[in-house]
Amino acid sequence: MLFASFAAFAYEPQDKEYNPNNTAPVHNEDKHGHEAAGFDAGKMILEHVADSHSWHLFGHTAISLPVIVKTDKGIELFSSSHFGHEGEENYHGSNYKYALHEGSIVVIDELTGSIDEKSTATVTDFSITKNVVSMFITMLLMLWVFLTVAKAYKRNPGKAPKGLQSFVEPLIMFVRDDVAKPSIGEKRYEKFMPFLLTVFFFVMFSNYLGLVPFFPGGVNLTGSISIAMVLAGFTLVITFLVANKHYWRHVFAMPGVPIPVLIILTPIEILGVFLRPFVLMIRLFANITAGHIIALAFFSLIFIFGEMNTGLGFGVSLFSLVFTVFMGFLELLVAFLQAYVFTLLSAIYFGSAIDEGHDVHNHVDDHSVEGSKH
């Protein structure tokens, strides 16, 4: 954080050469004699929290990622390095001429040089983006952690955990005893444990990697709406697969409710079935993205005030540094809490889907009483 704060002042407002991402805090004249645009905090923040076809490391250094596009003329594979720095260049492929426009692959008309809207509509992007690479890294990290722990248990059966085991085992027991059992039930929780553990550790590892400010961290993975949507979609699909008649009866025709009331209540219940995973998605997406935006916003203050006065920018940088460190510690807690909340709510939805209702419990209790009498 200290290096980041002082590096900001390596680029004075009078520096005419520095202009990364077209967001440098400069007020120089361009080649046409017009005043150049100042620092755009919104653009900088959105570029850092959004997905990208390259992985920025520092300065003008970035890792180029594979671009895979499917068009009406076939599939093309090439490197994002062909687009140059921040998509300033075009790439002539076998089928079309491509460009990177606002983070999306578009087709360029050879004659006019503008975006060919008709051809762009036929482009499907299957590229290995920064979020995809980060997801692969998280998956490999999880495999390494749990395969290592599994081997350790095989080597030392029945012994107290050591090293990595002593870190992972309490978390597994926490998910089992404090999340799965109370929400799903003692007898039925086991078949849901693989999913609950997977989603818990995936969200937690992704969140903590996103807090690391250098490669392979710093990616807003779980703050991507698509990632959060897929995770919530898994919860919805599993809920549908395990739901029993009692669950669907309460959704479509709640027992004991008059028919006129059901006309109003049933649509609300059906909507609630889909709103639950939607809330899961929004909660994860909003909380993780908000943490990144807040940190970047305070770093942006350095450049904004630095445009006014270098000394003022330096003073603001100290305040930004202290607050960002505070936010970093807070995000350490939020990263775990979001993994816990997502897992807990998923378990609660599964528990409600397989709940047999009071009638079945009363029926079992009656049989138990009759048995005790005999």
pLDDT band for position 358 (cuts 50, 70, 90): low
Q: What is the pLDDT of residues 308-335, one digit of tens each?
A: 888 888 888 888 888 888 988 999 999 9
For residue 181, pLDDT beyond 80 = yes
Enumerate the domain spans of the chain.
62-128, 131-362
How many angstroms separate the CA atoms of 284 and 116, rounded? 36
pLDDT band for position 43 (cuts 50, 70, 90): confident
The DSSP element (H or E) to which 68 belongs, if any, is strand 66-71
Least confident of 108-117, 191-200, 240-249: 108-117
For residue 341, pLDDT beyond 90 = yes
User: What's CA 116's distance to the chain center, in Å?
Assistant: 32
Q: What is the 3-state secondary structure (H, E, C) of 89-143?
A: CCEECCCCEEEEECCEEEEECCCCCCECHHHHCCCEECCCCHHHHHHHHHHHHHH
Nearest to 230 by CA among 132, 313, 106: 132
Q: What is the pLDDT of residues 132-176, one digit of tens each?
A: 999 999 999 999 999 999 999 898 888 888 888 999 999 999 999
